[in-house]
């Protein structure tokens, strides 16, 4: 598609216009993606470390009411809840984050459609940016992405020099969005940005996901799972910072004697009580089984069902793990 150029000063103006237009603007902050009110504070650095958590909370909030209720004597009244319909723009998203909506949309729409998610995504503009960060935990190239992948971005930025970004318009949605700000753009030269993007160092490919899938199909029972399970502490840090982990819980919470709301909250498969039946029976009673579920869900079940790996290779789960469990290393060792 088309390519334009924007200067850094104009990018700040564009961001200020987005905020001024009443839209929500999200940008990478020091450690998190944050909603920003001040365009001049936005720092777009291709070498920055991925934020601690992904930005999935903006389309799939960590806690979200799905309905409100009022109890009468015998009666109940249900009041609808729904996401705020506000245009949201994220700028400077890493390619390992941008692909997340493509992956998540599958499970939220494969049969029943989760409009809480869909309505937010519909109002979401993703401005991705090339990435030049890499550490021992990165493995985007092993799951079909790359530091210059435009997958999932509506618009993609590539820094041309100290003052200018190439603006690649990836989707129709992106075009429609950026057209409103065309005064800040000048015509681009795709060969220049291509030259830059081709020079970006890619993380080494750590594993062949197809081979991993086939190994998992044959090794549901394997001593490896207990080995990692014994070291894992059963928190859900890995799931909650993940751009594509989507398991949730539905709980009711009263806020008075007669009123309350039903919440859809993040949940994690590494918690022991995640699959605990009321009878006390637990199909995944030890941590090894739960870790097996995590790896299988990402690299086998989701692939079988939806044709996508449930992983973007961002490495957040490993980077944040208190006991340094490295999913890349574990998956790379899923071979005979």
Binding to other proteins (CB under 8 A): which residues in 157-216?
A: none
Residue among 186, 155, 180, 149 at smallest CA distance from 168: 155
Three-class secondary structure of residue 247 per DSSP: coil
Among 149, 153, 296, 312, binds other proteins (CB under 8 A): 296
Torsion sign over Cα 228, 230, 234, 235: negative
Q: Which is nearer to other proteins, 205 or 251 (CB)?
A: 251
Q: Which is nearer to other proteins, 162 or 278 (CB)?
A: 278
Among 172, 176, 204, 253, binds other proteins (CB under 8 A): 253
Residues 6+ apart with CB under 8 A from 8: 163, 164, 165
Interacting positions 101-130 with other proteins (CB under 8 A): 107-108, 110-116, 119
Which one of the spans 41-49, 66-74, 140-148, 186-194 is the region binding other proteins (CB under 8 A)?
A: 66-74
CB burial string 263-285: b at 16+ within 10 A, e below: bbebbbbbbeebeeeeeeeeebe
Among 1, 35, 43, 78, binds other proteins (CB under 8 A): 78
Which one of the spans 87-95, 123-131, 166-174, 242-250 is the region binding other proteins (CB under 8 A)?
A: 242-250
Q: Does 56 bind other proteins (CB under 8 A)?
A: no
Interacting positions 298-317 with other proteins (CB under 8 A): 300-301, 304-305
The H-assigned helical ranges of the chain are 8-20, 95-98, 100-109, 115-122, 172-179, 190-198, 209-218, 223-231, 237-241, 287-296, 302-306, 316-319, 327-332
Q: Which is nearer to other proteins, 162 or 323 (CB)?
A: 323
Helices (H) and strands (E) in the chain, counts: 13, 12
Q: Does 220 bind other proteins (CB under 8 A)?
A: yes
Say if residues 270 and 287 touch (Cβ distance below 8 Å): yes
Q: Which is nearer to other proteins, 45 or 230 (CB)?
A: 230
Three-class secondary structure of residue 18 per DSSP: helix
Size of the site for other proteins (CB under 8 A): 87
Residue among 12, 37, 18 at smallest CA distance from 163: 12
Q: Does 86 bind other proteins (CB under 8 A)?
A: no
Q: Does 278 bind other proteins (CB under 8 A)?
A: yes
Q: Does 50 bind other proteins (CB under 8 A)?
A: no
Q: Which is nearer to other proteins, 67 or 200 (CB)?
A: 67
Q: Does 13 bind other proteins (CB under 8 A)?
A: no
Three-class secondary structure of residue 156 per DSSP: strand
Q: Which is nearer to other proteins, 43 or 231 (CB)?
A: 231
The tokens of 240 are what? 């909650």
Q: Does 33 bind other proteins (CB under 8 A)?
A: no
The strand pair at 33-35 and 24-28 is best described as: antiparallel
Among 12, 53, 170, 228, binds other proteins (CB under 8 A): 53
């Amino acid at each position: 598609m088309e390519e334009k150029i924007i200067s850094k000063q104009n990018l700040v103006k564009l961001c200020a216009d987005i905020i001024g237009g009443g839209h929500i603007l999200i940008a990478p902050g020091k450690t998190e993606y944050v909603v920003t009110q001040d365009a001049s504070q936005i720092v777009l650095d291709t070498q920055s470390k991925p934020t601690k958590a992904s930005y999935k909370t903006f389309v799939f909030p960590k806690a979200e009411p799905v309905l409100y209720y009022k109890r009468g004597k015998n009666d109940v009244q249900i009041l609808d809840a729904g996401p705020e319909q506000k245009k949201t723009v994220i700028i400077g998203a890493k390619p390992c984050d941008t692909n997340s909506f493509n992956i998540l949309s599958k499970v939220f729409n494969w049969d029943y459609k989760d409009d809480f998610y869909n309505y937010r995504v519909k109002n979401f503009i993703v401005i991705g940016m090339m990435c030049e960060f890499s550490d021992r935990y990165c493995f985007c190239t092993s799951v079909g992405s790359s530091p210059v992948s435009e997958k999932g971005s509506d618009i993609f930025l590539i820094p041309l020099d100290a003052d200018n970004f190439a603006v690649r318009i990836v989707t129709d949605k992106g075009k429609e969005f950026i057209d409103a700000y065309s005064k800040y753009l000048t015509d681009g030269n795709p060969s220049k940005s291509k030259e830059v993007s081709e020079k970006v160092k890619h993380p080494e490919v750590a594993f062949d996901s197809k081979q991993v899938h086939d190994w998992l199909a044959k090794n549901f029972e394997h001593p490896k799972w207990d080995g990692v399970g014994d070291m894992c502490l059963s928190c859900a840090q890995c799931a909650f910072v993940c751009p594509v982990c989507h398991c949730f819980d539905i709980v009711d919470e009263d806020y008075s004697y007669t009123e309350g709301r039903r919440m859809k909250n993040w949940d994690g498969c590494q918690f022991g009580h995640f699959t605990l039946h009321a009878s006390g029976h637990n199909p995944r009673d030890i941590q090894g089984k739960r870790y097996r579920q995590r790896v299988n869900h990402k690299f086998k079940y989701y692939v079988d069902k939806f044709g996508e790996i449930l992983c973007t290779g961002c490495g957040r789960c490993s980077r944040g793990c208190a006991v340094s469990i490295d999913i890349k290393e574990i998956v790379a060792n899923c071979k005979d």
